[in-house]
Amino acid sequence: MFGFQPFTMSHYRKAVHTLTELAMQTNKGIVLASALRLAVVTDCDPVPQ
């Protein structure tokens, strides 16, 4: 119904790779959380209609 998917090891690896450089530049967790959310949302398949 909502198109949710589990956060798998593959997602984790991609997230670590994507966020490593940003994490080296900030100590703000909200910045990393927002970047991760954006990466996950934009990489998801669209919800079927």
DSSP 10-36: HHHHHHHHHHHHHHHH---HHHHHHHH
Summarised one tens digit per residue, pLDDT across range 1-49 is 777 878 889 888 888 888 888 899 999 999 888 888 887 777 654 443 3
Position 11 scores a pLDDT of 81
Which residues neighbour 12 within 8 Å (Cβ) at sequence distance 6 or greater? Answer: none
- pTM check: above 0.85: no
CA dihedral 24, 26, 28, 33 (to 10 degrees): -60
Position 27 scores a pLDDT of 92
**What residue numbers bound the domain in which 33 lies?**
9-43
- Look at residue 1 and tell me if it is in a domain: no
**Looking at the 3D structure of the chain, how many domains does it have?**
1
- Look at residue 17 and tell me if it is in a domain: yes
